[in-house]
Chains A and B, each alone.
Chain A
Amino acid sequence: MSDFPFLSVLTVAPLVGAVVVAFLPRRRPELAKRIALGWSLAVLALSVAMWIAFKVGGDRMQFRESYPWIPDWGIRVTFAVDGIALVMLMLIAVLVPLVILASWHDADDGSGAPGEAARAGTVAVNKRSVPVYFALILALECTMIGVFAAADVFLFYVFFEVMLVPMYFLIGSYGGHQRQYAAVKFFLYSLVGGLFMLAAVIGLWAVGGRTFDWSALIGADIATDTARWLFLGFFVAFAIKAPFFPFHTWLPDAGGAAPAGAAALLVGVLDKVGTFGILRYCLPLFPEASRWFAPWALALAAIGIIYAALLAVGQNDLKRLVSYTSIAHFGFIGIGIFAFTTQAGTGAVLYMLNHGLATGLLFLVVGMLVARRRSALVSDFGGVGRLVPLLGGVLLFAGLASLALPGTAPFVSEFLVLIGTFTVNKPVAVIATIGIIFAAAYVLWMVQRTAQGTLNPALSEVDDMRRDLTARERVVVAPLIALLIVLGFYPKPVTDVINPAVQATMQDVGTSDPAPTAGNLEAAK
């Protein structure tokens, strides 16, 4: 079973699906949706098979495949995953079908996009193509899987950049208010970061022995100064992608303007490419530079936690608010990575997964609210729970999960990050802990103003607001809620996969720690 070329099939399959869906006639939107959903479920099934075939405690990089591509430059199409990438691939495979299901009506004549209604006159003329929307999501899945599965720096870069294109059109063509501005800002920020990385990639190739193979580059002997510059090139790209303070300003715009499903993928998965890239490329390839830059990275992450939390409290737009909470969460992940302890590192990777689930859920639920109210402003809601108790309840759960309430999965990861950091860097851990208090403030206040309290009289006049979760929407939220609770009590299957990979990464950096591993922690509980 392990000989099956899982990774190349997983990468190519969504692309084939995208092509199929894109060429369906515009008049058959239902067919396009069903095929897209079926296709993404097939990808999910394949990913589950891969998860089972993955040998816990086996080689660091598994399912390795390698084909020649451009021999002149030593470029090969090499796929391989470690535990970190495997977890992220599972996250993608789980999220995409749910996002497709959640976006079922998003592309139908602009109903899913607030602000579009204001220009109702133009909507009739410019019906947006439904098949193309779902084709873009599948194309995005292809590039997302590719970026995590690549084990060749060049191939990684190719996916990293191409990923922008479908997302750009998802935001730009199907987004809401200010979508043009947001799409261009997103594209330019990411492209600028990508070009910094391109310079570093070429530099790495020139000094690293003219190869792009990740495993060969790990041991490359690079002069200290050169390595620091190259590290910076990669780091800037990843910090923009993640995004870390002060490179974060594109995310609230993009997250606010993107359709809810695309926003869930943007924040849930796309941004993880940044933190994943730091773990996979920055740390092992430039260990000395990583240690040298670590204090700066920690400082940025800590500032990000507090700063984004403060901004989140002040937001009146639900999607922007969720975007800001994500920036704060990425601060936690950044701290976990640059603390250089296995515990914090494992926590950070687990955080990447849990944040994808929790924030994905939050975005999807917010999307359901927005689709009903045709507005994303907090002040347009109030007492939603009285009208649609189930939807209000899910919103509360998603909010609590995202502020890491014990019993939900994010708590485990946040806790691991904090104790892992506390053993080596107390001030940062303390600052980050303060961030948790803010997190409670922005989430609870948002939930209170939206779902609790007295009913906003304007709400009961909107017919759609009387509709509680439909069967389709229940199917969307149920798996995420289940995963968040299960992983909150029993994260061992995931930590077992992550732990060896993180340990290997920390060894690459040259910091070994005797601190208890996540497994011990479980035992201690």
Chain B
Amino acid sequence: MSEVNLPPIDYAALAPILIPFGVACAGVLVEAFVPRRARYLAQLGLALAGLLAALVAVVLVADRRVLTIGGAVAVDGPALFLQGTIVVLALIALLLIGERSLDNGGSFVAQAAITVGSERDRVQEEREPGATEVYPLTMFAVSGMLLFVAAGDLLTMFIALEVLSLPLYLLCALARRRRLLSQEAALKYFMLGAYASGFFLFGVALIYGFTVGVGNGRKGDQPGGVDFATIHAAVGDSSASPVLLFAGIALLSIGLLFKAAAAPFHVWTPDVYQGAPTSITAFMAACTKVAAFGGLLRVLYVAFAGAAWDFTPVLGTVGVLTMLVGAILAVTQTDVKRLLAYSSVANAGYLLVGVLAGSKDGLSSTMFYLVAYGFSVIAAFALVTLVRDPDGEATHLSRWAGLGRRSPLFASVFTFVLLAFAGIPLTSGFMSKFAVFGAALAAGQVWLVIVGVVSSMILAFPYLRVVVMMWLSEPSDATPTVTVPGALTSAAVMIGVLATLVLGVVPAWLLDLSRGAAEFVR
């Protein structure tokens, strides 16, 4: 047997990924050895410290551009920018996950295995503190996302996909209130997610077949492979049938677009967003979206850049469909979480517009959009957790009537976030839409921009309806109260709203940052 050559590993460049991984593993140990009473603080502190350390690591290696572990991980501008984004957004989401003052014992169930609706279940719903496993699970998901956006080949990407998905499926099922809905959501997410992973894996196999006989030109590289450099070379001069390539791109895209919640792969979104604990919904809406689009950008811009002419029309159709489906179905929603879910679908469409610009502008504007949207959407879901009645969150829109009269501050802040979603200037929502539409128009994608604008008009209506509900309707006896938020939720709301305002008024610094980072390594 020949000697196994270990590839060199740049640990410093990997630190932003490795730290959360380590913290997640440590979290499992904490779960085993720390007494139950102390676990909440230990886990929350550990997770927060881990994310902060990861953020510091991202900042420290910000200038590094390197392919490491034999090309399996690419640490480059977009990867680091998106990793920073994920870490910051995850930090804010973690504040929401750790909130325990709104619901007795937090928004997570103590023991998910207890039969829903049984006597014991009622007892634990009222009293027992929530499970602390959610923190290591969250950290595993975060580390998966961090690896996902930095993957240098399709297999690493697939593994990262699974690492980020599996904890999310579990987290969805752990709601304290309305657990049947929560479990249904988790099951639905899991089943469809498993299909999507299957598609992705099958796509990887086809692409591998397509790269036969083509090497990436690095020293000691065998012909064939699923690293992005090889695929890029193969798109240029493979002798294999292009059917393999096109089918491969299609299947890979299905896997990625599923996570990004693009139509027609979006059907899970409203159910899962509604059923999952709201803090987890916020986490998914912000971080998973960043990760999914980070993966999509890398696959399309690095591996398949040469085939842009072939996939752009198809993905453009997907983008148009996504924007329209998201906007039109949002109009008919009566539940605020479902409304935000469809708005998230439509936003995936706007992001696709930026992705399909296919230029450096497209890349930087998409990354800017991800940051801006992430902050706003976390703030929105954080605010949703505050509107409560004795049974938990009151998410039906009819219940929100007259909230502006009861709690003007809450309603003002939520109105501001909705105006940001609607793309009113001086909010980040406007700047980010402007960025992606501008990039797409400069790249000649006139129709995408027109559909984008039309769908924005449609989408303004549901947002406005919520504003009308809150401000212009009379409150009734059924109007729930707005709970005074705990410190953690207040912090999350404040950061999200401030970021939405700052990015809307002075976005130049982040645009500079995203532009400076908009260069992949191959």
Partner of A191, one of B422, B437, B515: B422
Q: Is the beta-carbon distance between A191 and B511 smaller than 8 angstroms?
A: no
Q: Is the beta-carbon distance between A187 and B438 smaller than 8 angstroms?
A: no
Pick from A199-207, A265-273, A476-484 the stretch touching chain B. A199-207
Q: Which residues of chain B come closer than 8 Å to A191, judged between CB atoms?
A: 422, 457, 460
Q: Which residues of chain A come closer than 8 Å to B453, judged between CB atoms?
A: 195-196, 198-199
A176 and B114 CA atoms in complex are apart in Å by 55
Partner of A183, one of B405, B425, B468, B474: B468
Tell me if B456 is interfacial: C-beta within 8 Å of chain A.
Answer: yes
Q: Is the beta-carbon distance between B442 and A206 smaller than 8 angstroms?
A: yes
Rounded to whole Å, the gap between the CB of B405 and the closest CB of chain A is: 5
Rounded to whole Å, the gap between the CB of B81 and the closest CB of chain A is: 15
Main secondary structure of the interface of B (DSSP, over half): helix
Tell me if A307 is interfacial: C-beta within 8 Å of chain B.
Answer: no
What residue in chain A is nearest B465 (Cβ atoms)? A184
If A158-B425, A162-B426, A172-B472 touch, whether A71 touches B437 (CB-CB below 8 Å) is no
If A71-B508, A199-B453 touch, whether A173 touches B437 (CB-CB below 8 Å) is no
Rounded to whole Å, the gap between the CB of B497 and the closest CB of chain A is: 16
Q: Is the beta-carbon distance between A173 and B472 smaller than 8 angstroms?
A: yes
A291 and B370 CA atoms in complex are apart in Å by 43
Q: Is the beta-carbon distance between B460 and A202 smaller than 8 angstroms?
A: no
Tell me if A374 is interfacial: C-beta within 8 Å of chain B.
Answer: no
If A172-B472, A184-B468 touch, whether A72 touches B422 (CB-CB below 8 Å) is no
Q: Which residues of chain B come closer than 8 Å to A122, judged between CB atoms?
A: 474
Q: Is the beta-carbon distance between B460 and A188 smaller than 8 angstroms?
A: yes
Q: Which residues of chain B come closer than 8 Å to A159, judged between CB atoms?
A: 425
Q: Is the beta-carbon distance between A202 and B457 smaller than 8 angstroms?
A: no
Q: Is the beta-carbon distance between A184 and B450 smaller than 8 angstroms?
A: no
- A186-228 at interface with B (beta carbon < 8 Å): 187-188, 191-192, 195-196, 198-199, 202-203, 205-206
In the complex, how many residue pairs between chain A and chain B have their CB atoms under 8 Å apart?
84
What are the interface flags for B489-522 relative to A under an 8 Å C-beta threshold, 1 for contact and 0 otherwise?
0000000000000000011100110010000000
Q: Is the beta-carbon distance between B472 and A188 smaller than 8 angstroms?
A: no
What are the interface flags for B469-489 relative to A under an 8 Å C-beta threshold, 1 for contact and 0 otherwise?
001111100000000000000
Q: Which residues of chain A come closer than 8 Å to B424, judged between CB atoms?
A: 161-162, 164-165
Q: Which residues of chain A come closer than 8 Å to B419, judged between CB atoms?
A: 165
Rounded to whole Å, the gap between the CB of B460 and the closest CB of chain A is: 5
Partner of B425, one of A129, A157, A169: A157
Tell me if A70 is interfacial: C-beta within 8 Å of chain B.
Answer: yes
Tell me if A425 is interfacial: C-beta within 8 Å of chain B.
Answer: no
Q: Is the beta-carbon distance between A192 and B457 smaller than 8 angstroms?
A: yes
What are the interface flags for A361-396 relative to B under an 8 Å C-beta threshold, 1 for contact and 0 otherwise?
000000000000000000000000000000000000
**Chain B: interface residue total (CB-CB under 8 A):** 38
Q: Is the beta-carbon distance between B472 and A202 smaller than 8 angstroms?
A: no
Q: Is the beta-carbon distance between B511 and A72 smaller than 8 angstroms?
A: yes
A159 and B424 CA atoms in complex are apart in Å by 10
Rounded to whole Å, the gap between the CB of A235 and the closest CB of chain B is: 16
What residue in chain B is nearest A132 (Cβ atoms)? B408
Tell me if A69 is interfacial: C-beta within 8 Å of chain B.
Answer: yes
Q: Is the beta-carbon distance between B468 and A161 smaller than 8 angstroms?
A: no
What residue in chain B is nearest A199 (Cβ atoms)? B453
Q: Which residues of chain A come closer than 8 Å to B472, judged between CB atoms?
A: 172-173, 179-180, 183
If A184-B468, A187-B464, A191-B457 touch, whether A206 touches B438 (CB-CB below 8 Å) is yes
Q: Which residues of chain B come closer than 8 Å to A192, judged between CB atoms?
A: 457
Rounded to whole Å, the gap between the CB of A165 and the closest CB of chain B is: 7
A69 and B431 CA atoms in complex are apart in Å by 12
Q: Is the beta-carbon distance between A202 and B474 smaller than 8 angstroms?
A: no
Q: Which residues of chain B come closer than 8 Å to A173, judged between CB atoms?
A: 471-472
Tell me if B190 is interfacial: C-beta within 8 Å of chain A.
Answer: no
Partner of A188, one of B435, B454, B464: B464
Q: Which residues of chain A come closer than 8 Å to B305, judged between CB atoms?
A: none
Tell me if A126 is interfacial: C-beta within 8 Å of chain B.
Answer: yes
A162 and B422 CA atoms in complex are apart in Å by 12
Q: Which residues of chain A come closer than 8 Å to B515, judged between CB atoms?
A: 72
What residue in chain A is nearest B435 (Cβ atoms)? A73
Rounded to whole Å, the gap between the CB of B63 and the closest CB of chain A is: 20
Q: Is the beta-carbon distance between B464 and A70 smaller than 8 angstroms?
A: no
Q: Which residues of chain B come closer than 8 Å to A164, judged between CB atoms?
A: 424
Tell me if B28 is interfacial: C-beta within 8 Å of chain A.
Answer: no
Tell me if B202 is interfacial: C-beta within 8 Å of chain A.
Answer: no
A125 and B479 CA atoms in complex are apart in Å by 15
Q: Which residues of chain B come closer than 8 Å to A158, judged between CB atoms?
A: 425-426, 430
A-B contact pairs, 5 of them (CB 8 A): A72-B508, A162-B425, A162-B426, A165-B424, A172-B471
